[in-house]
Structure 1
Amino acid sequence: MELLRLRTGWHVLAAAVGIGAVVLLVASAGFDEAGAALAVVDPRTLVAAAMLELVAVVSLVQVYRVTFRVTGGRIGRRDGAVLGLGAVSLTQLIPGGGVAGGLFAARRFVRAGADPVAAAATVVLVGAVMLGTLGVLVAGAATVGAVTAPGYALHAVAAAAVVVLMVAAIAVLRGVLGRDGTRHRVAAWLGRRRRGAPLARSLAENLETHRDLLRRPLVLAPSTGWAAIKWTADLTVLAVLVHAAGGQVPLLAIVLAYAVANLLNGLPLTPGGIGVVELGATGTLVAFGAEPAVAAVAVLGYRALAVGLPLLLAVPVVGREIRRTRRGRIELEVTA
């Protein structure tokens, strides 16, 4: 109980620090200036941005569903929505909540019929697809943005190099693990581990079970496609809000601000990176010439949609599932 109280206190403190950082951000930009930038935004633009963010949320749910199908399982739309929204909500509500979100997703996969190792493998695969797609997309967009904006030739070269390295790393990993001899050696090495021997053996068996996935990586094309839609829609929301607030910055600035936001969002400092993400993304836009008030309004609007919309959708969906689970437990206890 004391540990729970300590963790709860830390989460509340972290949230307060994050909110305080957001208030300081707006104050430093100027409340009047921020209000003027907000007044410029067309309400129809906000509706369009919300619809784009909804597309991003739905696409994320689909990433979970189609990736689970690749590993041999199936999950319906409603259960997939509970899984995806629940995982995202935990990720946003708890500092460093990615682990909690992953555990939630793994448990839901187990309830859908997967064994624990296959469920964990699916979660890891989803993470790899999401991060890999994000990296390639951001680096590719940064390359285009640097090429189209004068004076950023070195940025274009660096971004293109990142794309080439990421694609090469994926190809090398696939080539190494796709070979029977190498895969058998890795499986044998895992099987000999003394620590966590049952888990090591299960991982080795799972590696063999999904050898076809390594040989035919194109089966991940649907997962990658949905991930690309998710990230593209999310990035477009930020771009739309920056220009709606009057920000005159190149595409490169928006792409780098988006990359900074996602990088800082993974730090286990505040719930959903609140405060930290806003400061980093706003600072990136300002460094490329955006007015501080315009940058702050655009980033805060983007964050309100990117964080708030999934949480808003998760409340009825996940809440209904929790009530159903509790009713099932009560009925089981009464029957017993």
Structure 2
Amino acid sequence: MFQVGLSVVSLALAATLVFLMPQLVAALTGKHVSWAQIGAQFAALGAREVALMTAVWLLSLLAYTFVLTASLPGLTHTQALMLNAGGSAVSNLLPFGGAAGVAMTFAMTRGWGFPARAVVVSTLTTGIWNTLFRFLLPAVGIVALLFSGQPLSSSVTRAGWAGVLSILVLVAVVTVALYWDRAANVLGRGLDALTRLLPRRIRPGGHAASEALTKLRTDTSEIVRHRWAGLTLGMVFFLGFQWLILVVCLHATGAYPGLAQSIAAFALSRVLTTALVTPSGTGIMEAGTIGALVFFGAPLDSATAAALLFGFWTYTVEIPFGGLALGAWTFLRRRENAATAPEKESISR
């Protein structure tokens, strides 16, 4: 009941933030926009633009199926599409929906006959790859901002390059540790040395850090070594199509600020989806994206409409689509059970 109540509160907060978006935008930018202006932008959308958004959104979903099929050998792309849609729908309805999404993943994959160990390895692998790309996106966004032509002070530029370098080093260390045994052991010993510097009351016992890292590497090393290309290309195309959704929204509303600027705004939007106050950072993501677009020179009403459209295609529409996927999965499971019931009955006789 507590989780349900928390979910209701979080969804209500998300809806309130979206409803108060003009006020949030005014606080962020010092400029004013009304829902009438935003509605006029929506009303100006043509069937061609909506069809293009729909097509690119579907391509982004298909791209992510390559990540799932690479992480779980034997999974079909149709099953991966249902798995992604169903898990996303559950996760998008809860403020801390990741655990519920994982539970749904286990239910669906076990129903298809996959062993628990394979599902655990798949969940760990996709989680790691998503995390690595969440680290890389800010680096890409910072580089895009530095090359966008926006006037930036020398201190901001230096801090930007330092941030990019730090992120790339971190990603490289984690990737190497996942791929090579010797690197994992060296990193594990380093983490052990760091934990010994912590106060005794919060210090993990034994070699907990290295053992956890070793276990993680052991569970994922085979998939990483043999299927890293599918995992990486799937994530690249998935995020690329999501960026393309934003570009289509920006062009449709007249808010497109330029290539580098659109990449920087996209990277910021994906970082803001990690805000845990609302599911997928709804309301917070849109407000931050609007602020970035206005900073890049986009008209306020156009930027607001584009950000809200982008939020629709990357969050809202996934809920009913995921519901349809879960319904299809439930229907197929019942039909399979009904088909196997006479066989089991004849065997028992």
Question: TM-score, normalising length from structure 2?
Answer: 0.75
TM alignment of 1:193-232, pairs within 5 A = 207-208=217-218, 210-212=220-222, 216=225, 219-232=227-240
**For the Cα contact (< 8 Å) 2:95–2:278, is it kept in 1?**
yes
> 1:64 and 2:60 equivalent?
no
Between the aligned partners of 2:223 and 2:324, the Cα distance in structure 1 is 36
Q: CA deviation at 1:245?
A: 0.9
Q: Which moved more, 1:323-332 or 1:275-284?
A: 323-332
Cα distance per residue 1:166-191 (max 9 Å; x no partner): 3333333344451348549959x9xx
Between the aligned partners of 1:251 and 1:293, the Cα distance in structure 2 is 20
Between the aligned partners of 2:245 and 2:228, the Cα distance in structure 1 is 26
- Residue in structure 1 matching 2:17, options 7, 10, 21: 21
SS of residue paired to 1:29: coil
Q: Which moved more, 1:131-140 or 1:86-95?
A: 131-140
SS of residue paired to 2:128: helix
Q: CA deviation at 1:59?
A: 1.2
Aligned to 1:173: 174
Q: CA deviation at 1:101?
A: 1.6
Between the aligned partners of 2:291 and 2:256, the Cα distance in structure 1 is 15
**For the Cα contact (< 8 Å) 2:134–2:271, is it kept in 1?**
no
**For the Cα contact (< 8 Å) 2:96–2:276, is it kept in 1?**
yes
Which amino acid in the other structure matches residue 271 of structure 2?
L
- Residue in structure 1 matching 2:277, options 250, 269, 272: 269
Q: Per the alignment, do residues 238 and 211 of structure 1 end up closer, same or farther by CA in structure 2, a change over 3 Å counting?
A: closer
Aligned to 2:26: none
Q: CA deviation at 1:232?
A: 0.9
Cα distance per residue 1:221-252 (max 9 Å; x no partner): 11110111010111121122123212252444
Alignment length (residue pairs): 319
Between the aligned partners of 2:266 and 2:183, the Cα distance in structure 1 is 41
Q: Which moved more, 1:53-62 or 1:99-108?
A: 99-108
Q: Per the alignment, do residues 250 and 111 of structure 1 end up closer, same or farther by CA in structure 2, a change over 3 Å counting?
A: same
> 1:86 and 2:86 equivalent?
yes
Aligned to 1:97: 97
**For the Cα contact (< 8 Å) 1:97–1:268, is it kept in 2?**
no
Aligned to 2:247: 239
**For the Cα contact (< 8 Å) 1:143–1:157, is it kept in 2?**
no
Aligned to 1:256: 264
Q: CA deviation at 1:49?
A: 1.7
Which amino acid in the other structure matches residue 8 of structure 1?
V
Q: Per the alignment, do residues 171 and 32 of structure 1 end up closer, same or farther by CA in structure 2, a change over 3 Å counting?
A: closer
Q: Which moved more, 1:292-301 or 1:96-105?
A: 96-105
Between the aligned partners of 2:159 and 2:213, the Cα distance in structure 1 is 37
Q: CA deviation at 1:148?
A: 4.2
Cα distance per residue 1:20-43 (max 9 Å; x no partner): 221221475212322333344443
Cα distance per residue 1:127-182 (max 9 Å; x no partner): 22123234435533542453242534856665555444333333333444513485
Between the aligned partners of 1:10 and 1:242, the Cα distance in structure 2 is 34
Q: Which moved more, 1:289-298 or 1:33-42?
A: 33-42
Q: Per the alignment, do residues 285 and 65 of structure 1 end up closer, same or farther by CA in structure 2, a change over 3 Å counting?
A: same
Aligned to 2:128: 128
Question: TM-score, normalising length from structure 1?
Answer: 0.78
Between the aligned partners of 1:230 and 1:55, the Cα distance in structure 2 is 8
Residue identity over aligned pairs, in percent, reads: 19
Q: Per the alignment, do residues 159 and 122 of structure 1 end up closer, same or farther by CA in structure 2, a change over 3 Å counting?
A: farther
Q: Which moved more, 1:88-97 or 1:171-180?
A: 171-180
Q: CA deviation at 1:266?
A: 1.9
**For the Cα contact (< 8 Å) 1:245–1:294, is it kept in 2?**
yes
Q: Which moved more, 1:221-230 or 1:273-282?
A: 273-282
Which amino acid in the other structure matches residue 167 of structure 1?
L
**For the Cα contact (< 8 Å) 2:41–2:302, is it kept in 1?**
yes
Between the aligned partners of 2:183 and 2:98, the Cα distance in structure 1 is 34
TM alignment of 1:289-304, pairs within 5 A = 289-304=297-312
**For the Cα contact (< 8 Å) 1:146–1:153, is it kept in 2?**
no
Unaligned runs of at least 5 residues, structure 1: none
SS of residue paired to 1:74: coil
Between the aligned partners of 2:96 and 2:273, the Cα distance in structure 1 is 9
Unaligned runs of at least 5 residues, structure 2: 24-31, 193-203
Cα distance per residue 1:85-125 (max 9 Å; x no partner): 11111121111212222332244444455543442232122
Between the aligned partners of 1:311 and 1:181, the Cα distance in structure 2 is 41
CA RMSD of aligned residues (A): 3.8
Aligned to 1:77: 77
Q: CA deviation at 1:301?
A: 0.9
Aligned to 2:149: 149
Q: Per the alignment, do residues 162 and 55 of structure 1 end up closer, same or farther by CA in structure 2, a change over 3 Å counting?
A: farther
